Structures are given as structure tokens and as C-alpha cells.
Amino acid sequence: MGSNGGQTGTHTYQSLTEDALFGSVVLPRRSTGRLVMHSLAMFGREFCYAVEAAYVIPVLLRVGLPKSLYSMVWLLSPILGFLLQPVVGSASDHCQSRWGRRRPYILTLCIMMLLGMALYLNGDAIISALTVNPRRKLVWAISITMIGVVLFDFAADFIDGPIKAYLFDVCCHQDKERGLHCHALFTGVGGALGYLLGAIDWGHLELGRVLGTEFQVMFLLSALILILCFIIHLCSIPEVPLRDVAKDIPPQQAPQDPSLSSHGMYEYGSIEKDKNGYVNPELAMQGGKNKSPAEQAQRVMTIKSLRSALVSMPLHYRCLCISHLIGWTAFLSNMLFFTDFMGQIVYSGDPYSARNSTEFLTYERGVEVGCWGLCINSVSSSLYSYFQKALVPCIGLKRLYFMGYLLFGLGTGFIGLFPNVYSTLVLCTLFGVMSSTLYTIPFNLMAEYHREEEKERRQAPGWSAGSSVTERGKGMDCATLTCMVQLAQILVGGGLGFLVNAAGSVVVVVITASTVALIGCCFVALFVRYVG
């Protein structure tokens, strides 16, 4: 990438956007109904995620996973996601499926989520039906359940990047902001209903008796909601697939600009492509020699070019990723172990006691109340997301970002110091502020960075397609930001198990969450760049 016709090109970072290289692209405004349909993917994802977050630790403990290993279940899928997500994000930027660039990946990950849910919610029942040997049953039940958790967690974390990139591809700047707030709103609603599902004692209801256990009920309802939501999402805003413009443009309509006609280029866009046709700048900006689609995709997706793109990332993108990492580390430290914290610390139960003992039943009661707390968190997240759009012009992204971290840090600190049932449930409202903040503000800032780069590129004198650039598509940008979630899970899974064993109590998880969030307050105030 360092030379062009014997001349050394300028190595610069370029975030690839929908702005056309040889003319402005005006994407059509999307209706509220289309944005709602697009946001239902986040509803379905978060609904199933809430069921997992509420019950995965109790499920693993119930099948007999040793206490010293239960935090390790969060390590496997984040490691895979952290390594693969930027690569897949780059691959989706150049996906040539007839169905579009992002939707094939979203569909695949949705199927993986369904399979993972089926395994971790039904693993114990499946193994019980296949073997009666207690030792083999224990080993296989733990193994199948853990595989399901890893598969579901991997897909649920991974799918956020393609969904955000899909939104950025097909929406104008104003609709991106509306879409992100809509995503956060439905994320909160989906989480609230998912936690509500976990808070209901299905075992004593007719549906639970018919299906066998409460886990079969949760799987059936979660699977139906996930399938319905993703069908609507994938039909919300059609994508026009990438294809070679040279094959589509008749000879008499071929571009006269020599720089335009000498490169193999592709086009993508929205359903209105026939009225607003344009050339895809993401591949047009690559310049260089004429290449086939496979050769171009292969060059972009090599590890060397990927590493080059990540290393050349500007400082403000890196700071945004670090702040996102700090926020998710704090949030996951609390949320992944919250129901276990409620059962063991607030209610003083014991998950390792005999199934019919008072201590075990007390622990289960704590888990159910913890689900109500997480439901309060999700409702709070939805309400805050609804009002956040009105707060941005008055307060600004910087203050909103800072406030989200501060309120979460103070709330979790009080919960750790004063583990009372009622005060804990009240302070769960502050979790929702942090949740909404993490789902919207970092992506709003990324959209602002992209918009600023578009303006600078249009105003830069002498800029041409022939200069060498380090290519980054919106898919890679979103993937790089969202893979901070996987890195946060790695830190939480690897570190909190050690801290819990050292402290001898799960109260350390909320104290850790509070400390990390307060550190994040300082970081977002001092190091994150805000446009305007």
C-alpha cells in the first residue's frame, strides 16, 4: 500500500463512509416505522441476553459446575470474539452476497444464538434422557451447558457490530442518531421483558408442568420472540448488494473520468438505488490497479492489512475504544453476577446446599428478586433512552457520557456497602442509565467522527483516489468498538473469579464495578474527544 506508480503515497487513516468519492450521496430519510422494525433485532437479542444473564450462573451451578470455575465460562467466547470480530467486520464491508453485506452475517449469528440457547437451557434435560450413569451425566451436562453458553454468548456479542453497521449503511446522519436511540429504547424493553420472564416461577404454572421445567418454558418463549424479531429486522430496510459497476454499466453509459473507469468498483446502497445510484466509495478509495472482486476482498481481509488499519487508527478512536472498554468492564462486573449476588449476599442463601434445604430455597428466591432488579434496570434504560435525545442538545454528549459512568459507580458502590433488598432494587434504576449510555453515546461519537472526516475530505485540496490510504469500513469501525465488549468479558471472567476466591465473597464484584466506573468518569472527561 506504500507506493503508487513509483511514488510513495501518503499513509493516512480514512474512515470509509457512504459519501461518494465523485459526488455526494444523499441517502433517503427513513420512516419511524422502518427504524422500529430495524430496532426489533436489539429487542430480540436483549430479551434472550436477559434470560442468559439472569439464569446462566444458577444453571451452571445447578448442573454441578465447581465454584472456582464458574466465572471461566465467560472467557471462551469473548476470546474468540475479540480475535475474530474485526476480521469479520472487515469481511462484511466487502461481502458480495445478493442479499446485502450485513444481513447474511446477522442471519448466521441469529441461528447460532438459537442453537446456544437450546443447549444451555436444555442441556441437563437432554443428558438426563440419554444416560443414567451419574458420573457421565455430570460431565456431559456441564460440557453441553458450557458449550451452549459459549456459543450463545459469542453470537449475541458478535451480532451487535453488523446490526450497527447495517444501520450506518442505509441511513443518513439524522436517521443514524434516531436509529441508535431507537435501538437503545428497544434494548431496554427487551431486557425488561427477558428479566421478567426469568422472575416468574414457571415450574408451578400449567405451562411449566406441560413442558417439563421452567427452562423449557424460557427456551420456547425466547426462541419464538428471537425468530419473529429477526425476521422483521431482516425485512426492515433492504440492502443493495455490492457488485462490479463495470459489468452493470452499458458501454454508452460508462464514466468518462479516467480515474473512474480504470478501477473495478462496486455499488451498494438502499432500496432507492435505482433513483439515487452511486459508486461505493469504500472500494473506490482503494485505488491502485484494476482487480477482481475476490482479489480486492482478499487484500482487505489479510491480517497484515487489518493490523495496519488498526495501528493507524487515530488517537480519538483509540480513546473512544478504551472508554468503551472501561464502561463495559464495570457494567459486566456487576450485571453478570448480579442475581448470584442477590441470592448469596442480600438473601444469605447457599446454591451448594441440598435442593430442598432452606438455604437453597432462599438462594433461589434471591435469584428471582435479582431478576426483578434487572427488569427495573431495563425499564430505566428504556425511559432514559427515550428522554436522552432531548437531553443531548441541552447537556451535550460529554456530560451525558460522564453522568452515566458517575451514577453507575455511585449506585454499585452503595449496593456493595449496604446490601439491603429495597435499596438495591431502587438503585437498579441507575444501572439503566449506564446501559443506555453504553449503547448510544459511543456510537453517536463514532457517527460524528465519520461525519467530520467526510467534511474534511471534501474540503481537502488535491485529494484524489490515487493516494494510498489505510482502508477501514464502517463494519470494521463498529466491530472494533463492539469487540471491546469481548475484551471486557475476558477481563471480568479472568479477574473476578480470582477476586471472589481471594475475598471469599461475591460482594467484591459490585465494589470492583463501582471502582472501575469511577475511573471511567475521569477518562471520558479528560481523554475522549467530542465534536462540536
Q: What pLDDT, in 10s, does the model give residues 65-119?
A: 776 666 566 677 778 777 777 777 777 777 888 888 889 999 999 999 999 999 8
Question: pLDDT band for position 287 (50/70/90)?
Answer: very low
Lowest-confidence pick of 20-34, 182-196, 319-333: 20-34
Q: What is the pLDDT of residue 270?
A: 34
| Residues in Cβ contact with 166 at an 8 Å cutoff, skipping those fewer than 6 apart | 38, 100, 101, 102, 103, 106, 237, 239
- Note whether 313 and 195 are same-domain residues: no
- Establish if 254 belongs to a structural domain: no
- Note whether 341 and 235 are same-domain residues: no
Residue in the structure block whose three cell numbers are 442441556 = 123
Phi, psi of 467 (to 5 degrees): -70, 145
Higher pLDDT pick, 296 / 384: 384
The domain boundary, picked from 215, 239, 263, lies at 239
- Establish if 291 belongs to a structural domain: no
| Residues in Cβ contact with 210 at an 8 Å cutoff, skipping those fewer than 6 apart | none
Q: What is the pLDDT of residue 243?
A: 58
Higher pLDDT pick, 473 / 275: 473
Q: What is the mean pLDDT of residues 109-138?
A: 84
Q: Any idea what the CATH number is for the domain that residue 425 is in?
A: 1.20.1250.20
Q: What is the mean pLDDT of residues 300-311?
A: 56
- pLDDT exceeding 70 applies to what percent of the chain? 76
Q: What is the pLDDT of residue 309?
A: 61
- Tell me the DSSP string of 414-434: HHHHS--HHHHHHHHHHHHHH
- Establish if 329 belongs to a structural domain: yes
Question: pLDDT band for position 278 (50/70/90)?
Answer: very low
- Establish if 395 belongs to a structural domain: yes
- Note whether 199 and 339 are same-domain residues: no
Q: What is the pLDDT of residue 470?
A: 40
- Note whether 59 and 192 are same-domain residues: yes
Q: What pLDDT, in 10s, does the model give residues 435-473?
A: 889 988 998 898 888 888 877 777 766 555 444 344 456
Question: pLDDT band for position 351 (50/70/90)?
Answer: confident
Return the half-sphere exposure (C-beta side, CA atoms, 13 A cut-off) of residue 301. Answer: 18
CB of 473 within 8 A of CB of 101? no
pTM for this predicted structure: 0.69
CB of 471 within 8 A of CB of 313? no
pLDDT at 279 over 50: no
Q: What pLDDT, in 10s, does the model give residues 489-517?
A: 888 877 777 787 777 778 888 999 999 99
- Alpha helices, H only, 5-102: 32-62, 76-93
How far apart, in Å, do the first and last CA atoms of the chain sit?
Answer: 33
CA 224 from chain centre, in angstroms, equals: 21
The domain boundary, picked from 189, 209, 239, lies at 239
- Note whether 314 and 231 are same-domain residues: no
Q: How far apart are CA 230 and CA 236, in angstroms?
A: 10
- Note whether 233 and 315 are same-domain residues: no
- Note whether 227 and 375 are same-domain residues: no
- Note whether 218 and 332 are same-domain residues: no
Q: How far apart are CA 513 and CA 515, in angstroms?
A: 6
Q: How far apart are CA 346 and CA 427, in angstroms?
A: 14
pLDDT at 36 over 60: yes
Q: What is the pLDDT of residue 503?
A: 77
Residue 225: which domain range?
A: 28-239
- Note whether 113 and 232 are same-domain residues: yes
pLDDT at 249 over 70: no
Question: pLDDT band for position 374 (50/70/90)?
Answer: confident
Cα separation values, 177 from 255, 374, 390, Å: 34, 26, 12
Q: What is the mean pLDDT of residues 255-261?
A: 39
- Establish if 131 belongs to a structural domain: yes
- For the chain, what is the domain count? 2
The amino acid sitting at 298 is Q
Q: What is the pLDDT of residue 294?
A: 41
Q: What pLDDT, in 10s, does the model give residues 162-214?
A: 898 888 888 887 888 888 889 988 988 888 888 787 777 777 777 777 877 77
